[in-house]
Every structure is written in C-alpha cells, then in structure tokens.
Structure 1
C-alpha cells in the first residue's frame, strides 16, 4: 500500500491546534502533560505506546514542522496514509455524507460530466429534503418547493468535499458544534468526551434525518420489489422522512445510466453519538426505477400545496363562453426548472389569461400542484395576476 506523505507547509499550517486536539481525543489519545508550547499525548497500540507532542499555538515559526512530525507518528500508529489522516483532521468537526458511485463507462476516479453535474445537484437535493424534515418536524410525501429560511441558511454552511477515487466518491461536509461539558471546557480537558448535552443541534439533526430517510427509502424499495402493493412501503415510510423529493434525489445520484452507488454517513468525531451505527447503504440498479416510480406516484397522489407559478400563457381552450382551460410555461417559486402546467380558470380569470397571451405578459397564479401521468396540473387556482414589469 502506498502511504502518501504530506510536506506542503501551507497544508500543514492550515490545521489548527483545536482540530489536532479534537482528532487526538476522538481517536483514543490521552494527555500526559503539558510542556511549554505543546501538549504531550500518548496512546497504547498493541505492545507499543506511541506519543506525540501537539503544538498549542499556530503562530510558532516551526508550527508546520511540528504538525508534520505529529502526522508521521499518527500514520505509524494507525498504519494509514498521512494524506488520509490530514483529511480526517480537517473534517473532525464535520458530519460527512459521501456517495461512492460506480459508473461502468468511466475510469476509477472519473465520471461523465453530465452525470457528475446531476450527481452533485442530487446530493444537494438529498440534504435539502432532510433539512426540511429536521426544520419542520413535519414529514410530507411531497415537500413544498419553497423551503423555510433556516433550511436555506443551513445549506449555505454545507461544504463539498474533494472528489476521490474508488470508483468516484463525492461528499458534503456539515460543520457541527463540538460537544463540551461546559462553556469553559477546553479540548484538552480529560472529561470533555464524556459530557453530554441535552439536545442535538440542528446540524446534527439534519444528519440523522438524512441517514434515517435514505435507509427507509432503501428498505421501501426492497419491500416494493417483493410486493404487489409497492407504493404502500413508501407511504408508510413518509414519517421516517421518505418523500418524492428524496426519492428523486436518490435516482439522480445514479446518473442517466442508473449506475449503482453506496451512501455512507460519518458523524463528526468532535461530537460523538455512541448509541447509533451508520452502516453503508448500497443502492443497486434495480432500486432506481422503483424509486422513480414511487416519486411519480407520490406526486400524483399528494398535491404540492400553495405553490406560486410564474410564466407565460402558452395555450387557451374553452367551449363557447364561461370557464376554460389554459397552460402556462413557467417556474414554481423555489424551483428553477421550467415546466408546463395546466389549470382550469373561471370566466374572469380566463379573460385575463387571454389578454396576457395576446400581449405576451408574464402572469402569476397560486394553487396546489399535482401530477397526472406526464402532465402537471394546478388545482384550486387563485390570485391570477399580471406580473409587473420591473422596467416600468
């Protein structure tokens, strides 16, 4: 096995004393003493005892060299690459959710451009679906396109990890507050790791909701393959966070070719949760069509309530006078995808839609979005208006 060494001074200097201490504490090292500008840590491994001196101040002139020495000892103790350990130190205070894709038409460490773009967008939507459940505590079979402000704020804190080989691994990293015994506690305190807080922060609740929902979707897909009432498995899993949005995101992770993939979650070592285990979840090719069908059927059965549609009237139809049917090509608030939506309007709104079509004016209308076959319909339409031209 090739174990890469890290010699880049900038990369070594970028790891803070706090990150080093959290990593050592989380991996079973204990402090023996403090001497000057460093902390002496020890750890027994088999018949040997390893020791490292961890610098406490990043302003030291030889700080990168001290980190380099610490990495060398960790690599020997753990029998791992220094580069791999450095990555774990970087994410020691982050929950990491990773997808290992197996595209059959690409070399290890590579993926098609279109599949890669779709995969990252789908991973974002997967996190978004879990964040909605954690924020509202109201699992829904079809989540609204418009998400709460705290969900969108959370997404801005999530980071993308560096892609890796095997076959193609991409990940998102969520910063999580460390678990402390008291506001005055230090990462060097012996009893820090055993202290428990009464409630998990929102960031951690999202991670737990994400893993639970993905595992529930996987189980529902397996049940659906073995049952003539396949959709029941998904509707019964809605309280666990399964939704049409989540199923669509999982399908997207498989790319256009529907390749298999693994999903894994690793909680931040700085905030351990001893009561939970997170085994890898592998989605096969035959899972993906089931998830796609479940998403479509859930959208057909459950309306996305109170959505705002903005677009252009592209078709009008009615028999004689009175109410009529129109279609609008536009976007739903909170979703940039262009779609064509059908609806039935009363006589007054139909007349307004006719004027908008003739004058090529944007319109907005609110209602409940449902899917029937390949078409989207807006039921209970209200508030049909022209959209004011911002230039006027």
Structure 2
C-alpha cells in the first residue's frame, strides 16, 4: 500500500518541538540522548529498534527537513500516511468532537446550506449544554438562558476544525493542558474543566442515545430522559441533537478523540450514531423536560402585543421579545396582577418595551412565564 508523503516544508515547520515531543511520548517512544539542539528517541517494534532525532529549537535553519525525517520514520513505524501522522501531531493537545452527517441527495462531503449552518450551530449548542452541566452545582433538566462566566470563557477557546474526507463532517477542537505525571490515565478530581466538558459531551450524548432507544421500546420510555439528567441530558442537549439532523432529520454520528497529551487509558470511546427515528423522540423529550421543569429567574424584555382580561382584576398578556442570554425573538404569555396589568396597558398604548422576571415553562406550543415579578417599563436606551 502506498501512503501519501509530506514534502511541504512550511507544513512541517509549523509543528512545534513541544507538539512533536508530546506525540512521540504518547506513541511509546522513549528518549535516549539529549543535547543542546536535539533529542534522540527510540522505539522497539517487533524486535527492531527505530530511531528519530527531534530538534528542540524551531529556529534552526534545518528544522523543517528534520521534521520531515521524523514524519518519514513515523509513517514507516505506524504503517500509515505521513499526512495522517502530521495531522495527529497538530492535534496532539486537542480533544476533538466530530459530527459526521449523512444527508440524503447530497454528494459526499457536501450538505445543504441551511443544514450546514444549523450543523455548526447545533454542535456549539451540544458543547454549551455539556459545559453548563459541568459548571452547575447540580444537574439541570432545563439550563438557564444566561450562561455562567466560566462557560463563556471556555467557549472562546473552542475552535472549529477543517472539514475531512467522507460524508459531511464538522469538528470542534478544545485545547487540553497536558498530563505531566504518569498516573495511568485515570480520571481525577484535578482533571481540567476542558477535559471534563469533553467527557460530559460524550457521556451525555451516549445517555441521550440510550434513552431514545428505551423510549422506542417502552410505553414509559420518556422517563429514561429524566433519570439521565444526572449524566448531562437536558432539554437543551436534546434540541441540539435534533438540530444536527437538519430539516429532513438525516442520520449523524458523534465521535470523540481525546488529546494524546492527556490520555485516559481506562476509557473506551466508541462513536454514537443516531438514526432518523431517534430524532422525533429527542424532540418530544426536550418538550417534555421543558414542560416538567421551569427555567427559573429569567428576565423577559420586549413589547406587549396582546392584552386580555375580564373585569378590572388580573389579566393575561403576551410579550414579543427576548429572554436574557438568548437573542431569539419569542412570544411569552403570562398572567399579571391588576397593578402590573395596568402598567402593561400603558406600555402597549405608548409602544414602549417592558421587562419582567419569572419562571419560564412550555405548555404545548406556547411559552409561559410563571410567578411574574418586577414588571416595569424599560426607559429608552435601557437594555437591562
């Protein structure tokens, strides 16, 4: 079998000495000698010893030819393409989440524009759901619209990776701090937040997959989703998974590749593949969770678009606006006391925005705000 070779010196020079060293160590190479400019690594394969000389200063004039030599030897030892080896060196410090979609009526590697945009947004939402689950002090079936600062900081460091061959594939890359001790790769309380999020993504997606299978086989199958909340399953996660299926609900597969710089030797991570018939179950589960569990303490801001009451007491209104932390325009219904209802009437007549805090729940196709409090007219220029 002929494997592709790397001849691009710029591509080789872009790999740092640290990346190369971490890759070699993760593949079982051991250091024999070290001097001021290079490290000699060796590895025994079926009784035959192989050797590579890794430069430790990327400023050397012959740095890229030396890296190309390392790639040639690794390609021989691993019996695979140098391009694949180079890619894995580039990703040695990254956990990679890959979504492989299988849209019908699309050439390999392609997808409809709308479904493609939705795939990227849904992958982000899957990661956000997992990060919120890790950050929360207790499991949440419905996550708050306003995300914790820790989650927002984490998201700024997640990167979208290049597409790959095959069906349509999107990837998200998370930089993981290397493991400096040789402790066998067991998960510890000291595992960094980034790694805990990666594992929560996988565990929550696997739990949602198992719950969907149970729901297809059982009359009370949706209960499997509520019992899986402790594993990171939430309405938000289920909705994000549905989004990955696109408008037509095509099958898709999620795969996790852990950074070689921080291995977990005790984990088996097989791809999770969702079928078309899983997606309606996930959608129903998301709606069920939102109807059972209120999203507490949210602020709705927008304009009063409907007023209704009988007599002079309390009444029902609806607001077209946004929920804090979410820019989507939504219509929210609520029952207000007499005093609040009068304020809402004035706001409607004056065509000014209002703000109100409460607990958000879904009932069928409508969104309701329970326990409304702090109803007020928002002055011009006040976005709070």
Do they superpose with TM above 0.5?
yes
The answer to whether structure 1 residue 327 and structure 2 residue 307 are counterparts is no
Deviation of 1:3 after TM superposition, in Å, equals 3.3
The within-5 A match list for 1:1-392 is 3-46=3-46, 48-181=48-181, 199-390=190-381
SS in structure 2 opposite 1:248? helix
- Pick closer, same or farther for the CA change 1:303–1:209 going to 2, 3 Å: same
Ranges in structure 1 where 5+ consecutive residues have no aligned partner: 182-191
| CA–CA separation in structure 2 for the residues paired with 1:311 and 1:391 | 12
Structure 1 residue 128: Cα displacement? 0.6
CA distance in 2, matches of 1:11, 1:358: 64
User: How far is the alpha carbon of 1:36 from its aligned partner?
Assistant: 4.7
SS in 2 for 1:263: strand
Q: 1:150 to 1:391 in 2, by over 3 A?
A: closer
* CA displacement, residues 229-269 of structure 1 (integer Å, 9 cap, x when unaligned): 12111111111111000101111111111111111111111
Segment of structure 1 superposing worse, 161-170 or 76-85: 76-85
Map Cα deviations across residues 31-84 of structure 1 (whole Å, 9 max, x no partner). Answer: 122245111112233354322111100110111111111112112221222222
CA distance in 2, matches of 1:158, 1:319: 53
Cα 1:2–1:344 change in 2 (3 A) is farther
Distance change in 2, residues 1:367/1:72 (3 Å): same
Gapped runs of 5+ residues in structure 2? none
- Shift of residue 391, structure 1, vs aligned partner: 8.4
- Cα distance in 2 for residues equivalent to 1:37 and 1:91: 24
Structure 1 residues 312 and 195, CA gap change in structure 2 (3 angstroms): closer
Q: 1:263 to 1:195 in 2, by over 3 A?
A: closer
Contact 1:224 1:233 in 2 (8 A): yes
1:188 maps to what in 2? none
Query: Which is worse superposed, 46-55 or 235-244?
Result: 46-55
Deviations 1:125-182 (A, max 9, x none): 111111111112411111111111001111111111111122111111111111113x
Whether the aligned pair in 2 keeps the contact of 1:162 and 1:170 (CA below 8 Å) is: yes
TM-align CA RMSD? 1.8
Q: Secondary structure at the match of 1:368?
A: strand
For 1:315 and 1:335, locate their aligned partners in 2 and report how far apart those are by CA, in whole Å. 22
Q: Give, in whole Å, the separation in 2 of the partners of 1:360 and 1:48.
A: 81
> Within 1, Cα distance between the matches of 2:334 and 2:29?
64
Once residues 3 and 351 of structure 1 are traced to their aligned partners in structure 2, the CA distance between those partners, rounded to angstroms, is 75
Q: Deviations over 1:307-354 (max 9, x none)?
A: 111111111111121211111111111111111111111111111111
Residue aligned with 1:367, SS: strand
TM-score, L = length of structure 1:
0.93
Quick one: distance in 1 between partners of 2:155 and 2:255? Answer: 19
Q: What SS does the aligned partner of 1:278 have?
A: coil
Contact kept in structure 2, 1:32 and 1:40, CA below 8 Å: yes
